[in-house]
Amino acid sequence: MSATDGNGLKDRIIRVGTRKSQLARIQTDSVVEMLCKQYPGLHFEIVAMSTTGDKILDTALSKIGEKSLFTKELENALERNEVDLVVHSLKDLPTSLPPGFTIGAICKRENPHDAVVFHPKSCGKTLNALPDKSVIGTSSLRRAAQLKRSFPQLEFRDIRGNLNTRLKKLDEKEDFSAIILAAAGLRRMGWENRIGQILNPEDCLYAVGQGALAIEVRAKDQEILDMVSALHDGETVLCCIAERAFMKHLEGGCSVPVAVSTLLKDSQLYLTGAVYSLDGSDSLRETMQTSVNYPQQNEDGPNDDVQHVGITAKNIPHRAQEAAEKLGNRRI
């Protein structure tokens, strides 16, 4: 099957795995919609399931100590051939995937920055304008470590639950003056009007892969791999290869605050990477760059299905992907 027609899949229903949360369903629906536009003759069915991360709502993610909290059950279904592909938030996927799996597509990235949602009483303010000792809710060690440095006058407390739950906790109680969420999730849910402030990279670098959707497939399922590869966004792929390589190099996970910001401009890829102590008092931060100006070559042969930090992207120049990965592997 070529990467453009999907003819080999016309006689079957392609099953798409997803988490059950409202945001996950919206994200998966958007991916299926893109696939339907690309391959109008194919039929898709969405299979929703709960993951460990969805079930454990009373414990901070960093204390659970499992890197595949939101992916394991979905990958099990993929392994058992119960689904043919799985849609994830890329930031939920560990930098090393289990054997036999690969990220077959990374879609064009939504705004990757963090956003501040304020309590109705503090509407129209910014974090700097809140009274001293105001309590800010976040479930992320990365956000808390950075924001403690940028806003030492504020207090940060853990808040768990899906987007709907966290907004409800903010609005209906007086516990928090504001909460920090990914701008991408709020926009996809249609709640952009709740964003009171977007945090710039000076105040808060974002998570590796934040704002990007990934499609995970069985590495040897060539038909599905070819089909989903049409959704790759070249710029997002190169940025996310650099980010994932940076995180893998540091062996950071949910429990180590690792943060990034990437930019592709005039064939130069810029990566700002940082690692923080839990209280934000110590940090290492550096900006690095490399050229990714390489032509696409026909690379049939041993490099045909080479992966870069779990990503297979044959339609993006291999040497550009290599350069992005090397950039992330540099020491800071």
CA–CA separation, 71 and 303 (whole Å): 27
How does DSSP assign 58-95, residue by residue?
SS-HHHH--TTTTTHHHHHHHHTTS-SEEEEEGGGS-S
**Sign (positive or negative) of CA dihedral 325, 329, 330, 332:** positive
Residue tagged 């992005």 (tokens): 324
Backbone angles phi, psi at 96, to 5 degrees: -115, 120
The radius of gyration of the chain from alpha carbons, rounded to an integer in Å, stands at 20
- Which residue from 219, 6, 228 is spatially nearest to 106, judged by alpha carbons? 228
What would the two tokens of residue 326 be?
């090397």
CA–CA separation, 287 and 256 (whole Å): 19
CA–CA separation, 10 and 19 (whole Å): 26
How does DSSP assign 34-57, residue by residue?
HHHHH-TT-EEEEEEE--HHHH--
The residue annotated as part of the active site, out of 11, 29, 58, 92, is 92
CA–CA separation, 280 and 13 (whole Å): 49
CA–CA separation, 223 and 24 (whole Å): 25
Are 147 and 138 a contacting pair, CB within 8 Å?
A: yes
- Catalytic, 279? Answer no
Task: Calculate the CA dihedral of residues 50, 51, 56, 57 and round it to 10 degrees.
Answer: -60
CA–CA separation, 332 and 319 (whole Å): 23
Exposure on the CB side of residue 90, measured as CA atoms within 13 A: 32
Return the active site residues.
92
